[in-house]
Amino acid sequence: MSTTGFDYSKVFASNVPQPAARWTGFPRYNFVGGHNDPEAIPLDGLAKAAASALLREGKLLATYGLGQGALGYTGLREFIARKSSSHRGIEATPDDVLVTIGSMQGIDLVNRLLVEPGDTVIVESLSFHGALAKLRKIGATIIGAPLDEHGLRIDALETILRDLKGRGVRPKYIYTIPTIQNPTGSVLPLDRRHGLIALAREYGVPIFEDECYADLVWAGSAPPALYALDPAQVIHIGSFSKSLAPSLRLGFAIAPPDVLGRLVALRSDGPGALEQLVVAEYFTHHFDDHVQRLTIGLRAKLDTLVDALAREFGAAVEFNLPDGGIYLWVRLPEGVDVRRLIKPAAEAGVAFNPGPEWAVDPEAAASSLRLCFALPSHEAIREGIAAFARVSAEQTGIPARSANVAARTVAAQ
């Protein structure tokens, strides 16, 4: 018997996880997660959208699913279909769209539909840690497909598929983030997209396309979505977490009818109705101008982050500038294990995503880390990178003081 009453540990299921730590607030310099820029949330616009939507359609809240079926609010699905057509080249009707509880529910549903323990799945060698964690929990065999500065290497993927076929293995899907790859920030060129689809057709493997960040491209456009190029071969998911606000927990899936219907059948719950009403109302009128303002602000924060890294680390770090999004993938010199920096950095108020959590082969990314630049202010970015550099120098000797001084001198000139 515990001191607080009944001893629940005696009846816990065998696979229950350890208790989560109590929430104590964000660290002072928070470079983790997929948070957005607080100053970019359109508060007045959302308040007006909420009032307008509620006055017009608030009575629908009296019924589950707003009385509009299991796919989600019709107004939001209509907007998603229009946006997917105008921005991603996808020809889909509202009936081809399923509104989800963020993109994570889309990943869960696709995995439940396609993947069983022991099944093989191809994933980009660096990928969304949430997707990797879920596949590992299922017990899938994960094959990492190499990346370069432009995204997935089609030549390497062909070698993987040929080898698997020779062993009698057909992967359940190829999971890719082609537009603002997470964590590297690359955009897959059009010729590679066609090459990927050709390989998927040849080897009879579906493509699972995650376009969570596709709205946040600096240049304002990207090649068409893979789903646009071959709707029969691709399952497509997206999200409003990065283009508007993660706490709204709204995403969507677009898929062939036989797939979409099964995803609906697998789902036990859907997203909140009020969130759907508000986002549909606001984005129907303000999507393009909002995203333009958001990306301008995000690009400015990236510039601040890059300047801070150059000032504090000099040539001791490497990175490729992302084509959009909210992350920078940073590489420290080989031999540095960023996992050694997690605890001392936290003690200095700095939180970052260690690279091994974002890799199919964790050891191959031991010297890398992901920095989210959307949430912290410009001042916090500069101060946080300076604090992180001090921790890194104390723990690893990198950046060396001489290199650091040189970088500061160049920056001052």
CATH architecture of 43-286: 3-Layer(aba) Sandwich (3.40)
Q: What angle do CA 144, 220, 378 make, to 5 degrees?
A: 85
CB 271, CB 101: distance < 8 Å? yes
Query: In angstroms, rounded to a whole number, what is the distance separating the alpha carbons of residues 31 and 97?
Result: 33
| pLDDT given at position 409 | 34
> Confidence class of residue 5 from pLDDT cuts 50, 70 and 90?
confident
| pLDDT given at position 21 | 87
| pLDDT given at position 213 | 96
Is the per-residue pLDDT at 160 higher than 50?
Answer: yes
Mean pLDDT of 347-363: 98
| pLDDT given at position 4 | 63
Mean pLDDT of 361-389: 98
Is the per-residue pLDDT at 305 higher than 90?
Answer: yes
Enumerate the β-bridge partners of residue 124. Answer: 145
Is the per-residue pLDDT at 411 higher than 70?
Answer: no
Mean pLDDT of 122-134: 97
| pLDDT (tens digit per residue) in 52-109 | 999 999 999 999 999 999 999 999 999 999 999 999 999 999 999 999 999 999 999 9
The b/e string for 187-211 (b: 16+ C-beta within 10 A; e otherwise) is bbeeebbebbbebbeebebbbbbbb
- Average pLDDT of the chain is 94
> Confidence class of residue 14 from pLDDT cuts 50, 70 and 90?
confident
> Confidence class of residue 3 from pLDDT cuts 50, 70 and 90?
low
Is 400 or 43 the better-scoring residue by pLDDT?
Answer: 43
Mean pLDDT of 358-373: 98
> Confidence class of residue 220 from pLDDT cuts 50, 70 and 90?
confident
Coil, helix or strand at residue 141? strand
| pLDDT given at position 406 | 43
Alpha helices in 181-327 (DSSP H): 190-203, 226-229, 257-266, 273-313
Beta strands across the sheet bearing 97-100: 97-100, 251-254, 234-239, 207-210, 174-176, 120-124, 141-145
Mean pLDDT of 388-407: 79
Strands 151-152 and 147-148, bridge-based pairing: antiparallel
Is the per-residue pLDDT at 403 higher than 90?
Answer: no
| pLDDT given at position 413 | 33
| pLDDT given at position 322 | 96
Domain ranges of the chain: 25-40+290-412, 43-286
> Confidence class of residue 401 from pLDDT cuts 50, 70 and 90?
low
Is the per-residue pLDDT at 219 higher than 90?
Answer: no
User: How many Cβ atoms from other residues are within 10 Å of residue 23's Cβ?
Assistant: 6
**Which of 3.90.1150.10, 1.10.260.40, 3.30.1450.10, 3.40.50.11930 is the CATH number of 25-40+290-412?**
3.90.1150.10
